[in-house]
């Protein structure tokens, strides 16, 4: 068995690596295990709100990611059936540091966080598939198959950041409460000049048949086009249908090049608890949402950050273990009371079938379009995922500025889309 560490994290995705970096900065010894040979590069999170940017800045990796990605200030909503197109432009808000959204691949976030975590002594081991653990009063032993056969890793605490199908969560016997949506999402990365067709750098396309979320990924012409299809269609042939769907989004143009594509199931689920004994959950392993509105990683990484903050304090002897139960309660509350209603409403609006409701949605979006505060509200909304950081003196205590700025978003009705 390798030397024991304070924490073993399963999963070198963005949440596992940001949590590892935060814990290492708090003085904990950390080992990260991942079953892949390297960080996964499938088409997933690409757009980061200010509530994420402040984490990246505080951890010291924002400048590097800023240099890899690009800043976007324009968000388009398109309702083709009414020939309606609106743009909300983000605005600087006194009291918050960012007036933009950063576009960068989540694999880059994980990689840069990993490089910084390794500099602080975090050991990141790929090719390790975790399949079991044994828990004792004062420690936990994790079992994994590695390149040399069976391996064991001791730690005081185990964090499952191993995605929505989390092995750690299943091994701990924690139920994943909620529901799975009937539709399938297809996320594609494609080279195509969407701006020539009037798309902004980030867009919602609202349509009962052809809903989509379209966003620019880099400055070399790569875009993300994510759309929905009926999950009754055979998943094996999803690639054959991409061309037919592109025909609509790209107005019949054929000058595109598909770079990658993946089908996804959508969930609205959270662990019945995010702490059981010495096992803790973060990221999609803790709670998984449909990605409409980009709240998945946005909220999951804050679950990892709050966890790292309180667990660091427990390891230093500054807090009782009971704070880990409060962590579980608070992060579940944020998921069910903040993330799920917003993501569900976004998904509904994107694919609404009822004509009367679509007309109401149009009026709602028109009102946002003419509201001079829309740009500021767009910037502030995602801060709600931070919730209570649970500890006085925490480095994150002042992270949520929404009660300090001029616009009081808590009093507003409706969503920002
Ligand atoms: C199409 C799409 C678009 C999205 N867009 C956005 C967006 O714009 N903004 C946003 O905030 N969110 C978005 N999301 C959600 C976001 O991608 C997820 O929330 C994010 O990937 C969660 O990160 P994670 O680190 O928790 O898990 P993952 O990224 O799933 O990483 C889990 C890691 O655990 C490893 N692992 C799993 N099992 C084991 C095991 N048994 N042993 C060892 N290792 C294991 C895996 O190899 C993997 O590396 C999107 C999702 C989709 C599907």
Buried b (16+ CB within 10 A) or exposed e, 321-339: eebbebbbebbbebbeebb
Indicate the pTM of the whole model: 0.95
Ligand 1 centroid to 69 CA: how many Å?
19
Q: Which of 18, 55, 106, 264 to mutate to test the pocket of ligand 1 (most atoms within 8 A of CB)?
A: 106
For ligand 1, atom 44, the nearest C-alpha belongs to 34
Task: Please tell me the distance between residue 137's alpha carbon and the centre of ligand 1 in angstroms.
Answer: 31
Pocket residue to mutate for ligand 1, from 284, 288, 290, 308, most atoms within 8 A of Cβ:
284
Strand partners, 310: none
Please tell me the predicted confidence (pLDDT) of residue 209. 92
Task: Count Cα atoms within 13 angstroms, Cβ side, for 156.
Answer: 11
Distance 163 CA to ligand 1 centre (A): 5
- Ligand 1: which of 8, 291, 295, 381 to mutate, most ligand atoms within 8 Å of CB? 291
Q: Where are the chain's structural domains?
A: 2-71+101-177+268-349+388-411
Contact between 253 and 243 under an 8 Å Cβ cutoff? The reply is: no
For ligand 1, the distance from its centroid to the CA atom of residue 329, given in whole angstroms, is 22
d(Cα 311, Cα 181) in Å, to the nearest integer?
33
State the closest ligand 1 atom to the C-alpha of 43, by its place in the atom list counted from 1: 1
Out of 20, 32, 44, 269, mutate this one to test ligand 1's pocket (max ligand atoms within 8 Å of CB): namely 44
Please give the pLDDT value at position 246.
95
Kindly give the distance from the C-alpha atom of residue 185 to the centroid of ligand 1, in angstroms, as a whole number. Answer: 15
Compute, in angstroms, the gap from residue 80 CA to the centroid of ligand 1.
31
162 CB-side CA count, 13 A = 25
Task: Provide Rg for the chain, Cα atoms.
Answer: 21
Q: Which residues line ligand 1 (CB under 6 A)?
A: 10-16, 33-36, 40, 44-47, 106, 128-130, 161-163, 167, 185, 187, 226, 264, 283-284, 291, 294-298, 300
Q: Which two tokens stand for residue 83?
A: 């020939």
Residue nearest to atom 29 of ligand 1 (CA): 13
Gap from CA of 284 to ligand 1 centroid (Å): 6
**Residue to substitute in 65, 162, 304 for testing ligand 1 pocket (most ligand atoms within 8 angstroms of CB):** 162
Residue 13 alpha carbon to ligand 1 centre in Å: 6
Nearest CA to ligand 1 atom 30: 163
pLDDT values of the chain reduced to their tens digit, one per residue, 417 residues: 778 999 999 999 999 999 999 999 999 999 999 999 999 988 899 999 999 999 999 999 999 999 999 999 999 999 999 999 999 888 778 778 898 999 999 999 999 999 999 999 999 999 999 999 999 999 999 999 999 999 999 999 999 999 999 999 999 999 999 999 999 999 999 999 999 999 999 999 999 999 999 999 999 999 999 999 988 999 999 999 999 999 999 999 999 999 999 999 999 999 999 999 999 999 999 999 999 999 999 999 999 999 999 999 999 999 999 999 999 999 999 999 999 999 999 999 999 999 999 999 999 889 887 887 877 777 788 899 999 999 999 999 999 887 777 554 434 333 333
Ligand 1 mean position, distance from CA 166 (Å):
10
Domain 2-71+101-177+268-349+388-411 has CATH 3.40.718.10: no
Nearest CA to ligand 1 atom 2: 44
pLDDT of residue 406: 59
From 330, 36, 267, 45, select the one nearest 18 (Cα to Cα).
45
């Amino acid at each position: 068995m390798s030397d024991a560490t304070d924490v073993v994290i399963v999963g070198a995705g963005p949440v596992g690596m940001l949590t590892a970096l935060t814990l290492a900065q708090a003085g904990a010894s950390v080992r990260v295990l991942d079953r892949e040979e390297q960080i996964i590069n499938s088409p997933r999170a690409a757009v980061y709100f200010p509530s994420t940017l402040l984490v990246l800045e505080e951890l010291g990796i924002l400048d590097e990611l800023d240099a890899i990605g690009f800043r976007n200030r324009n968000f388009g909503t398109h309702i083709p059936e009414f020939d309606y197109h609106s743009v909300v432009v983000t605005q600087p808000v006194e009291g918050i540091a960012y007036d933009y959204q950063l576009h960068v691949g989540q694999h880059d976030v994980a990689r840069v966080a990993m490089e910084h975590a390794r500099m602080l002594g975090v050991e990141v081991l790929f090719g390790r598939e975790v399949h079991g653990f044994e828990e004792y009063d004062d420690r936990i032993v994790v079992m994994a198959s590695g390149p040399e056969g069976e391996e064991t890793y001791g730690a005081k605490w185990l964090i499952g950041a191993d995605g929505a199908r989390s092995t750690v969560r299943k091994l701990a016997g924690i139920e994943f409460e909620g529901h799975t949506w009937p539709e399938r999402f297809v996320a594609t990365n494609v080279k195509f000049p969407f701006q020539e067709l009037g798309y902004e750098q980030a867009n919602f396309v609202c349509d009962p048949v052809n809903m989509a979320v379209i966003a620019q990924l880099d400055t070399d012409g790569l875009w993300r086009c994510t759309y929905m299809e009926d999950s009754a269609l055979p998943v094996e042939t999803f690639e054959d249908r991409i061309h037919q769907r592109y025909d609509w989004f790209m107005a019949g143009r054929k000058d595109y090049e598909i770079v990658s594509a993946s089908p996804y199931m959508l969930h609205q689920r959270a662990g019945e608890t995010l702490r059981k004994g010495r096992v803790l959950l973060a990221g999609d392993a803790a709670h998984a949402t449909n990605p409409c509105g980009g709240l998945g990683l946005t909220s999951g990484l804050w679950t990892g950050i709050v966890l790292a903050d309180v667990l660091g304090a427990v390891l230093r002897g500054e807090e009782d273990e009971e704070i880990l139960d409060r962590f579980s309660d608070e992060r579940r509350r944020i998921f069910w009371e903040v993330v799920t209603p917003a993501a569900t409403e976004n998904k509904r609006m994107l694919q609404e079938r009822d004509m009367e409701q679509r007309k109401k949605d149009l009026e709602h979006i028109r009102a946002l379009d003419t509201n001079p505060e829309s740009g500021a509200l767009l910037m502030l909304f995602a801060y709600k995922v931070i919730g209570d950081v649970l500890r006085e003196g925490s480095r994150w205590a002042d992270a949520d500025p929404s009660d300090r700025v001029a616009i009081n978003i808590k009093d507003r009705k409706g969503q920002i889309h």
